[in-house]
Amino acid sequence: MQEAGAHEECSDAPRHVAIIMDGNGRWAAKRGLPRLEGHRRGVEALRRTVRAAIELEIRYLTIYSFSSENWRRPAAEIGDLFGLLRIFVRRDLADLHARAVKVRFIGSRQGLPADIADLLGEAENLTCANEGLTLVVAFNYGARQEILAAARAIAQAARRGDLEPGLLDEQGFAAFLDTAGIPDPDLLIRTSGEQRLSNFLLWQSAYAELVFMPVLWPDFDGAALASAINEFRSRDRRFGGLASRAPSLKERA
Ligand code: IPE
Ligand code: IPE
Ligand code: MG
């Protein structure tokens, strides 16, 4: 149960912003370019967004970069996406570290090329003591798979006698998710006009404010992030309770 008023102090600025970075392929198609070019420009949009998030003093930024379902794409595109992740981690890690960014990956490491799995571990290790923005990269991530893995681990712990099923609560369950220790997203943005979650943070987004934007991901920037945050600020988050604030004069008019 949420305590009444527990979230009031956070209602103004989002502490955790999660983004479904969508529309790279359409951005490229509109220009007669290969999809890879859209993905490349998408990495540039990500760099801009991380800088903007730091300036806006967001504490956690989670980005959806490869879903468990993206394995359904042609092998060549999957290879391109993995290649871009390699480039992003290799080229940007030092800069992220210098900006005190703590990098964390969520999703399954199984099935990933060994060099990628090593790279993810390296990025996490290098930045683990940083106290700036936490950048959570959802790579090879699917929320149903994450919840299922948690359920399996919980069942195994119960069978070993390490966990009493009747005492398991929401907090206890969440500790088995990849996002253990990370607060739930306050604001979830999806670009490209699609209005669905595509298996992203299903447990964690129970009370996230959803903002769907028509902008294609490669065109996303600090101004787009600021406009999503303004939209977030105009929402009344009630968490099942009653209105958290009195309506402003403008809203009453
Ligand atoms: C988002 O862009 C990047 C990934 C899903 C990896 P898309 O590749 O989905 O672009 P669209 O949706 O085809 O335009
Ligand atoms: C969601 O986008 C996954 C990522 C952004 C990584 P998709 O483009 O894969 O989602 P669908 O297929 O349109 O639902
Ligand atoms: Mg897409």
Burial of 18 (0-12, 13-18, 19+ CB in 10 A): buried
Quickly list DSSP for 109-129.
Answer: -TTS-HHHHHHHHHHHHHHTT
Report pLDDT digits (tens) over 156-165.
999 999 999 9
- pLDDT, residue 12, reads 85
The ligand minimizing its distance to the Cα of 27 is: 1
The stretch 143-169 carries a mean pLDDT of 98
Bridging pattern class, strands 16-20 and 209-212 = unpaired
**Mean pLDDT for all residues in the chain:** 93
Q: Ligand 3 mean position to 230 CA, how many Å?
A: 25
Closest CA to 5 of 237, 249, 247: 237
20/22 Cα distance (integer angstroms): 6
- pLDDT, residue 2, reads 42
244/5 Cα distance (integer angstroms): 7
pTM: 0.93
Report pLDDT digits (tens) over 203-220.
999 999 999 999 999 999
- pLDDT, residue 6, reads 44
Superfamily of domain 16-146+184-252: Decaprenyl diphosphate synthase-like (3.40.1180.10)
Report pLDDT digits (tens) over 44-96.
999 999 999 999 999 999 999 999 999 999 999 999 999 999 999 999 999 99
Choosing from 26, 67, 189, 215 the residue with most ligand 2 atoms within 8 A of its CB, the one to mutate for a pocket test is: 67
Bridging pattern class, strands 134-141 and 209-212 = unpaired
Residue with tokens 């303004």: 230
